[in-house]
Structure 1
Amino acid sequence: MTHFSWLDYTIFGGYLAASVGVGLFSARGSKSLGDYFLAGRGMNSILVAMSILAALFSGISYLAGPADVYKNGFGFAYVILAFFIATPFTAMYMLPKFYQSRFFTAYQFLEERFSLSVRLLASGLFIFRVALWLAAATYAPALALEKVTGMPLWLTILASGVLTTLYTALGGMRAVIWTDVMQLIVLFGGQLVIVLVAVGKIPGGLGGVWDTAVADHRLDLSLSFSISERVNLWAVLLAGAFLHLVQMATDQVSVQRYLTAGSLREAQRSLWIKLWLILPVLILFYGTGLVLYAFYKTHGDPMTAGLIAKEDQILPYFVVTQLPAGLPGLLIAAIYAASMSTISAGLNSLASATFVDFKQRLSTQAEGTQAQQVGRARMITVIYGFIVIGLAFAVSLMPGNLVESVNTVIGLIGGPLLGLFFLGMFTQRATTRGALLGCLAGFISLLSLYLYQNGVLTAVKPPLLVSFIWFSLLGTLITMGVGLLTSGRSDTSSVRHQ
């Protein structure tokens, strides 16, 4: 297989250096925690929208989206439609709660509504989930680079982790947002180039892609109500909405960006802008899977030929074998940069949750000067950077492709977390006791189901009971149901913050 040329290496290195340079340039403005974690609460809605989109649209999305469509058809990609449910719900019903007290983290709301213990539990679950998510985001570009450049996996994981930790620790949220914007533009442009080149080599062009997709039933979506089916219409609409809500409404990565806006109205506006930005972006990225399917149906499937080991490598394989010298370097750098964008966003949010929810809230010592607090926040960021690097080496052991692995993790932990926020925001009966027991029940139930379905608890792997896409919804319902049933009347915390 063809590897990088010297021109590709030059462009790749130059783009990564530019990304780090933008991040380091932003370090000059981080003089307080408000600057470091929330960019001084002065970012406009367009930048916030682009940053939210870039933060959640990682190298995982860049690689796994087209790969999933290439292997399984467009079924999961219809989850795009669920954004029309999750976005207005978040903007109208959940976002105002975070702005009532000008929070630093999403989990401060849970302390006002319930108690400190619920806040710490929720923040801890977030930290655990996002650390795993960032590990996958670190592993994704390393997988791509290993295949197309011949660089060993361990080296590329270390490179992305260390570089991103460096500029995130120094630059804070301003570094994160500005690199997000730059990388989102390159991502979209790079994917467009891939599609145009591929379509030009397919008989019939776009018409040929469409005819192939229809003939091979790649656009079909089941109308079944079965929750064991991988995807169907009800899964992508209903379960998909809850999957989006986990990341849009309970995730510090997203909530922290809303709070960088100057007002609630600006934050709500950023969500609507993000909705209209994400539609063409996701249609292009998932549509690339259909284009690659049609291309390799004509030119021979590289997986069948043994040229690649996983479908997650199909996009970088096309880039390095079909594009002229120079473009592979830029596009693989775009994949790499997408993950760096996600990692930087996650590291900053992990640091903010740890510093604000744990260190500040639990410490009895004087906080020190603003400069000292920023210094401690930077140190926490560095620690998380190395934790994520370590976890990235374990991601390859998870069953399923990247789409299934990542969304399973989101559901396992994010579903119970969303249930906590729903109990706090939309019920008056729920108490601290009910919230804690409900969340615990939700997490244990989903984890047990996951282990059972993957044969960990049985001698023989059983048939699938619940598809990965339903985990968020199921976790939310279990948490709320158990939470309401176990809430005692003696707990008065339920009326603290209505």
Structure 2
Amino acid sequence: MKGLPVIDLAIIFIYLIGMILVGFYFSRKNKNSEQFTKASGLIPGWAIGLSIYATFLSSNTFLGVPGKAFGSNWNAFVFSISMPLAAWVASKYFVPFYRNTGEISAYTHLEKRFGAWARVYAVICFLLTQLARMGSIFFGIALSLQALTGYSMQMIMVVMGVCIIIYTVLGGIEAVIWTEVVQAVVKTLGALLILYLIVTNMPGGVSKIVEIGKSADKFSLGSFKLDFVGSSFWVVLLYGFFINLNNFGMDQNYIQRYHTASSSKAASRSIWLCVWLYIPASLLFFIIGSCLYAYYDVHPELVASIKHQVAAERLPLGATEAEVLKMQNALQPADYGDKIMPHFMVTKIPIGLVGLIVSAILSAAMSTISSGMNASATVFSVDIYKRYIKPDVTDKQNLSLLHIATIGFGLLGMVAGIAMIGVKSILDLWWELSGIFAAGMLGLFLLGIVSRQTKNHEAIIATIIGIVVIIWMTFSSLLPPEYEAFRNPLHKNMIIVVGTLTIFLTGIFITKVKNRKVETAN
């Protein structure tokens, strides 16, 4: 990292070594698979809450949210506003349900309810979601560190990935949770420090920021019209509710934490702690984005270098300077929003503090990636290996399998991150992919819990119809112009809403029709 002063390098190095040492510390307890996946159910609720909060507050939030606020407004903050309702449903129904089943996997009950196909389908959706999440986070952190170090994004992902793999494999879920507790504090303090530095470097201070933000409509939550084509308030609210319902109800990252708590009450409290921490924290990052917009609005000369870099990256190798300048002039704030935070860090944060900020961004990335690796390994072990490959696996063999699977999913996450290099918006990419993959399994899960009369055949038909709808909504935009009438007219964030409701309502409808025919026949 030759681009950084020695003191900043030292801070980052100490932080990374500290995370690895945490893994070594908890490796002493990690002698069986239950300890690796459940931590023997002895983690206090407040620590689980901070852990879930740290998972939510990933580098997608740390870098993507300020970039989104810089490029548009606070419309995406409506996602956070939707969290309390999803948390209420989860704490009232999902936590007791999972605690009562005693199953470490979130998907075991789907097989009992509908058959093996339902479990396999949910597992595939979950693993694809995790790869998308880990890939977007690897990409986000590499984007930031490249600006600071000059090293390639691929090299940054590999170095960071190796560190995460080491402490996650050694320490299991207990190391993941306790490192996330530390990371929750580090990343929050890092965000506050960035905000302070922006405000103190801003001519005119807070009043000027508010003035510029108001004139540019930077504080808007989006249109309140019942518009589901654009990114209105209602589109993001619905998206947020359904995706958070999926997070709290179907995501192994969170379900696994419910089992680490000492009681259902402690697990429910952890959800609410996460919500009440995340809402103001996410607002903080939107404020940072608006402050950055105001700062660069009064320093337009600084934006030119950012736009030039983005234009050069988007054009093929060998493009002339005239072509670069033409694209540079056509770029809008939304096109380079993700570059703004790294640029400010490079140019305005004092020596010594850069190391602290980078550690905060690293913690934001590491917490979510380590959770995804542990959860993916657990699902692979329980739902695939023990179910279909070797049902009589010993605990020692299972622990070795968990270690290997954790390494494997960490490497796949790195590959996914490298494949995402060059995307326009981290947050947009993650929202779109998570909505596509989560829609099917959430609809099936709700159908299984709410409609007790729905059987295997009705669920299969409903799921197939739901998948067709999800595929159409996702890819119909690629249809040629003459088939424009067959394109999805709704915003892409509506995929999870429509997909979930299609499976759920179709399953209930088919069940009622079948039951009515049976009653008529009798």
Q: For residue 88 of structure 1, what is the aligned residue in structure 2?
A: 88
Q: Distance in 1 between matches of 2:91 and 2:187?
A: 26
Whether the 8 Å CA contact 2:473–2:488 is kept in 1: the answer is no
Shift of 1:364: 4.8
Q: For residue 380 of structure 1, what is the aligned residue in structure 2?
A: 405
2:251 paired with 1:226: no
2:375 paired with 1:345: no
Whether the 8 Å CA contact 1:110–1:424 is kept in 2: the answer is yes
SS in 1 for 2:43: coil
Shift of 1:376: 1.5
The match for 1:481 among 485, 500, 505 is: 505
Call closer, same or farther: CA 1:325–1:307 in 2, change over 3 Å: farther
2:388 paired with 1:371: no
Whether the 8 Å CA contact 1:3–1:150 is kept in 2: the answer is yes
Shift of 1:100: 1.5
- For 2:228, the aligned partner's letter is I
Count of residues in Structure 1 that have an aligned counterpart in Structure 2: 485
- For 2:339, the aligned partner's letter is Q
Q: For residue 265 of structure 2, what is the aligned residue in structure 1?
A: 265
Whether the 8 Å CA contact 1:441–1:479 is kept in 2: the answer is yes
Q: For residue 326 of structure 2, what is the aligned residue in structure 1?
A: none
Q: For residue 439 of structure 2, what is the aligned residue in structure 1?
A: 415
Q: Distance in 1 between matches of 2:354 and 2:480?
A: 45
Call closer, same or farther: CA 1:359–1:274 in 2, change over 3 Å: same
Q: Distance in 1 between matches of 2:208 and 2:298?
A: 10
Call closer, same or farther: CA 1:178–1:301 in 2, change over 3 Å: farther
Q: For residue 425 of structure 1, what is the aligned residue in structure 2?
A: 449
Call closer, same or farther: CA 1:308–1:333 in 2, change over 3 Å: farther
Q: Distance in 2 between matches of 1:264 and 1:308?
A: 51
- For 2:115, the aligned partner's letter is S
- For 1:276, the aligned partner's letter is W
Spell out, residue by residue over 1:153-212, the C-alpha distance to the aligned partner (whole angstroms, 9 max, x if none): 110111122221121112110110111111111101011011011111223322222222
2:74 paired with 1:74: yes
Call closer, same or farther: CA 1:317–1:364 in 2, change over 3 Å: closer
Unaligned residue ranges in structure 2 (runs of 5+):
311-335, 516-522
Shift of 1:391: 1.8
Whether the 8 Å CA contact 1:228–1:464 is kept in 2: the answer is no
Shift of 1:439: 2.8
Q: For residue 250 of structure 2, what is the aligned residue in structure 1?
A: 250
The match for 1:444 among 452, 461, 468 is: 468
Call closer, same or farther: CA 1:393–1:437 in 2, change over 3 Å: farther
Shift of 1:21: 1.7
Whether the 8 Å CA contact 1:106–1:252 is kept in 2: the answer is yes
Q: For residue 313 of structure 1, what is the aligned residue in structure 2?
A: 339
Whether the 8 Å CA contact 2:23–2:169 is kept in 1: the answer is no
Q: For residue 201 of structure 1, what is the aligned residue in structure 2?
A: 201
Shift of 1:336: 2.0
Whether the 8 Å CA contact 1:183–1:341 is kept in 2: the answer is yes
Q: For residue 63 of structure 1, what is the aligned residue in structure 2?
A: 63
Normalised TM-score (structure 1): 0.92
Q: Distance in 2 between matches of 1:136 and 1:423?
A: 30
Q: Distance in 1 between matches of 2:512 and 2:126?
A: 26
Q: Which has the greater radius of gyration? A: 2
Q: For residue 29 of structure 1, what is the aligned residue in structure 2?
A: 29
Q: For residue 174 of structure 2, what is the aligned residue in structure 1?
A: 174
- For 1:449, the aligned partner's letter is M
Spell out, residue by residue over 1:124-170, the C-alpha distance to the aligned partner (whole angstroms, 9 max, x if none): 21112111211111111011111221011110111122221121112
Spell out, residue by residue over 1:342-377, the C-alpha distance to the aligned partner (whole angstroms, 9 max, x if none): 111000000110101111222455322x33321121
Q: Distance in 2 between matches of 1:130 and 1:39?
A: 22
Q: Percent identity?
A: 26
Q: Distance in 2 between matches of 1:74 and 1:307?
A: 26
2:415 paired with 1:390: yes
SS in 1 for 2:358: helix
Call closer, same or farther: CA 1:437–1:56 in 2, change over 3 Å: farther
Q: For residue 323 of structure 1, what is the aligned residue in structure 2?
A: 349
Q: For residue 336 of structure 1, what is the aligned residue in structure 2?
A: 362
Whether the 8 Å CA contact 2:147–2:346 is kept in 1: the answer is no
43-52 vs 443-452, which moves further: 443-452
Q: Distance in 1 between matches of 2:8 and 2:259?
A: 39
Q: Distance in 2 between matches of 1:384 and 1:347?
A: 6
Q: Distance in 2 between matches of 1:303 and 1:436?
A: 53
Shift of 1:428: 2.1
Whether the 8 Å CA contact 2:132–2:416 is kept in 1: the answer is yes
Shift of 1:489: 8.8
Spell out, residue by residue over 1:207-256, the C-alpha distance to the aligned partner (whole angstroms, 9 max, x if none): 222222222211222112111112x2212323321121121211001111
RMSD between aligned residues: 2.2
Q: Distance in 1 between matches of 2:514 and 2:27?
A: 49
Spell out, residue by residue over 1:393-442, the C-alpha distance to the aligned partner (whole angstroms, 9 max, x if none): 111355x4111110111110101111011101111232222323333332
Alignment of 1:96-175 (within 5 A): 96-175=96-175
Normalised TM-score (structure 2): 0.88
Call closer, same or farther: CA 1:352–1:490 in 2, change over 3 Å: farther
Unaligned residue ranges in structure 1 (runs of 5+):
492-498
- For 2:280, the aligned partner's letter is P
Spell out, residue by residue over 1:101-124, the C-alpha distance to the aligned partner (whole angstroms, 9 max, x if none): 211011122123222221221112
Q: Distance in 2 between matches of 1:415 and 1:72?
A: 26
Alignment of 1:456-475 (within 5 A): 457-458=479-480, 465-475=489-499
